Amino acid sequence: MTEQLSPEELERLSREISRADLQKLAERGLLGTRTTSAAEPKKPRPESTPAGANGAPLQDRRVETVYTAFGEIQELRLELDLAEVAKEEEAPKRRFRVRDIPTYITIGGLSLALIIERSYLYLRRTKRDFDRLPVFVRAVYYLAAMAVVLLLVGFILGTQITHLLGGGYNPPTLQESAAAPYGVNQRMLPLSDAQPAQLLPETLGEFPRSNEIISANNTSSPTNQCLLGLGYAKDVLNPPTCARSYGMLGTASARYYDGRMKIDVAIARFSNEQQAHGTMVELLIHARKYGRVGDFAVSGLTPNSYFYSNVRGWLSFTWSHGPWIFSISTVKLDTLEEAIKAFPY
C-alpha cells in the first residue's frame, strides 16, 4: 500500500500522524522493526536526512525512523533542546520634556471636566429624588439645614464678639510667671539684726505655738531636718542623709497644734543670698531623692526661690527671702496653705 504512495505523500502522512497515534499502534502490535541484512545495507533516504540552508545536517536534532506493518511511513525529528526565548529589551524610561506640558494640561483639564460633569449629574439626580419626597419631609430637611447654619454663624460671631470685648488672650510676663506663690516675694524682709527665733509668731492662724522644737528626737519633715542641719536618733530606721555646703548663722523651729493636727516651721539664716540660693538647690535635690517635688523655681530668675515637696508623708513648702530660708510642713494640703498665708515673712 505504501509502495503506491509517492515520497511527498509519505512525508505529508508522517506529519499528520501524531506520536500519540503511534503509541496506540505500538500497543496493538501493528508496529515492527525492519532488520537489515549485512548483504543489503540500508540506504539513507534523501527525505529522511534533514539539512540546513547549506545542505549540512542539523547538529541539534536526532532522527528516529518508525516502521509499520505497511512499510516505512514516518520519521520523527525530536528537538533535543528548546530554543531560548529572546529577552525583550526594556524600553528606556521617558523623561519629562517641556513640549509635553500642553499634553499634561489637556489631560488634567479633561479629567477635571469629567469630574465636574459626573458631579453635576449626581447632584441633579439627587435633587430630582429630593423633589419627589413629600412636602413635610422636605420641610423638615430645610429646617434642620437652617438650624445647622445658624448655629455655625452664631458660634463664629460669638467668638469674635468675646474676643473683642475681652481684649484677647494676654500671656503672663516672665516676671509674673516666675512670681512665688502666696505672694511671699512681696512680703517684708526681716531686719538685718533680727534673730531667727524672733521671727516665729505666737499663733499661726488658728494654731497656737507650743513649747516643742524640732530636734533629732522630735523629728519633723526630712526637708526641715536638712534645713536645720539636724540628724536622726539611733533608733530611726534608714534615715535620710543630707549633704550641705554652707553653714547657718542661726536657726529656729517651732511646732503649732490645733487638736491633733500639727504644723512645723523651720527658719535658717545664711551669710548672703548666694549661700541661701545654693542651699535651696541642695534642699530640692534632697527632697527629690527621698520623695517627690511639685512646683518649684530655684533657677535664680527671681530673688525668691521656692518648691513644694512630699517626703515620707510630710507636705512642705520651702522658700527663700534674701539670706533667709523658711520651711513649713504638715500632713494636709489645705492646712499647709492656711499656714503659709498666715506666716508674716
| Pairing of β 261-269 and β 207-208 | unpaired
Tell me the CATH number at 292. 3.40.1000
Tell me, what's the pLDDT at 170? 56
- Residue 128: phi and psi, rounded to 5, are -65, -40
Examine residue 44 and state whether it is found in any structural domain, yes or no. Answer: no
Examine residue 244 and state whether it is found in any structural domain, yes or no. Answer: yes
Q: Using alpha carbons, select from 270, 286, 296 the residue that is nearest to residue 224.
A: 286
- The larger pLDDT score, comparing residue 152 to residue 41, is at 152
Q: Do 85 and 101 touch, CB atoms closer than 8 A?
A: no
Q: Using alpha carbons, select from 316, 306, 308, 322 the residue that is nearest to residue 336.
A: 316
Tell me, what's the pLDDT at 78? 42
Least confident segment among 64-68, 165-169, 337-341: 64-68
**The pTM is what?**
0.51
> In sequence order, what are the residues at sequence separation of 6 or more whose Cβ sits closer than 8 angstroms to the Cβ of residue 317?
181, 306, 307, 308, 327, 328, 336, 340
Whether residues 221 and 289 share a domain: the answer is: yes
- Calculate the average pLDDT of the chain: 78
Examine residue 49 and state whether it is found in any structural domain, yes or no. Answer: no
Q: Do 275 and 235 touch, CB atoms closer than 8 A?
A: no
d(CA 3, CA 318): 128
Supply 254's cell numbers.
Answer: 517651732
| Percent of the chain scoring above 90 in pLDDT | 40
Q: Is the pLDDT of residue 282 over 70?
A: yes
What integer is the mean pLDDT of 322-345? 93
Whether residues 154 and 249 share a domain: the answer is: no
- The larger pLDDT score, comparing residue 38 to residue 121, is at 121
Supply 269's cell numbers.
Answer: 539664716
Whether residues 140 and 201 share a domain: the answer is: no
pLDDT, tens digit, for every residue of 30-80? 555 444 444 444 444 444 444 444 444 444 444 445 444 444 444 444 443
Whether residues 264 and 164 share a domain: the answer is: no
Residue 101's pLDDT band (cuts 50, 70, 90): confident
Examine residue 279 and state whether it is found in any structural domain, yes or no. Answer: yes
Q: Is the pLDDT of residue 209 over 90?
A: yes
Examine residue 96 and state whether it is found in any structural domain, yes or no. Answer: no
Examine residue 67 and state whether it is found in any structural domain, yes or no. Answer: yes
Q: Is the pLDDT of residue 120 over 80?
A: yes
What integer is the mean pLDDT of 79-85? 43
Examine residue 85 and state whether it is found in any structural domain, yes or no. Answer: no
Domain of residue 258 covers 195-233+240-342
Which residues are paired to 311 by β-bridges? 314
d(CA 183, CA 172): 16
Residue 126 in 3-state DSSP? helix
Tell me, what's the pLDDT at 54? 47
Based on the structure, what is the number of domains in the chain? 3
Whether residues 209 and 145 share a domain: the answer is: no
Residue 4's pLDDT band (cuts 50, 70, 90): low
